[in-house]
Amino acid sequence: MGKAKIDAAIASVLENGDKAFVPYIMAGDGGIENLKEQILFLEESGATVVELGIPFSDPVADGPVIQEAGLRALANGTTLAGVLDSLEEWKESRTIPIVLMTYFNLIFAYGIEKFAERCKEVGVDGLIIPDVPPEEEEMAAPTFAKHEIALIRLAAPTSPQSRLEQIAKRTEGFLYAVTVKGTTGARTRYEDGLPEYLQELQTLSAAPVLAGFGVSTPEQVKELGQYCDGVIVGSKIVELLAAGKRDEIKEIIQAAKANETVSNL
């Protein structure tokens, strides 16, 4: 469980010559009662890890698609406690690692120690907390480590070298390599120098490097996979799931497999 489960899942994929694929979905978008079915669908479609967003009223890192999904989830009455309860109800049914993406205000309000204990109870394996910089994470990081929950750090192309080195050294589970400046959402192109940036992160980090923010097509999954260990797709998965376009989700996930070919490359 926990960090070891994420490590094993990604290592298994990479050993097969494939790339890790982490889809993001918003908990409660479509109703919390459908969360189990949504995650099991992603697992059956070939996802490596699922990143599960917790809706929050002030999501500073999220683009419009995920913000709207969060508003729908909040309107459905979704809460952090409710998501954790749901995950506990069917934790024996899943083998895929679960990473929660949540803002620190929610954790602080819940209680850091209580939250870490509850995450372990319900089978949460890792956390992404985008609004806590490395300088401030010590109030919570030791507690998560005590409960064997991976704290996944985000590296940004705008960060100075010393900060990238610090983040790459500290990350657990994987290093989340932000590929664009700004918030999440689909992009048609990436920043210049992206391959070099991703390759540099791989030299700095002992953990796998996964690229996210702006990934939306099978072609982009293939392209980015050349320079790192896997990809994270959020806004596009949220959009397609809400629209019921599950075949397109499967196509994006399968693009991370080594034996899958995608046109226009």
Range 241-257 average pLDDT = 96
Determine which one of 7, 18, 43, 51 is catalytic.
51
Q: Provide the pLDDT for residue 151.
A: 98
The tens digit of pLDDT for each residue in 23-78 reads 999 999 999 999 999 999 999 999 999 999 999 987 776 788 999 999 999 999 99
* Cα(47)–Cα(99) distance, integer angstroms: 13
Question: What is the pTM for the complete model shown?
Answer: 0.92
**Tell me, what DSSP letter sits at residue 187?**
-
Percent of the chain residues past pLDDT 70, beyond the cut: 92
Residue pair 157/199 in contact by the 8 Å Cβ criterion: no
The tens digit of pLDDT for each residue in 141-198 reads 999 999 999 999 999 988 899 999 999 999 999 999 998 765 554 444 445 688 999 9
Q: Provide the pLDDT for residue 264.
A: 42
CATH of 3-254 among 3.40.50.920, 3.30.413.10, 3.20.20.70, 3.40.50.720: 3.20.20.70
Q: Provide the pLDDT for residue 61.
A: 65
Determine which one of 7, 18, 62, 172 is catalytic.
62
Is residue 62 annotated as a catalytic residue, yes or no? yes
Please name the helix (run of DSSP H) or strand (run of DSSP E) that holds residue 101, with its range, or none. strand 98-101
Is residue 18 annotated as a catalytic residue, yes or no? no
Range 235-263 average pLDDT = 88
Q: Name the residue ranges covered by the structural domains of the chain.
A: 3-254
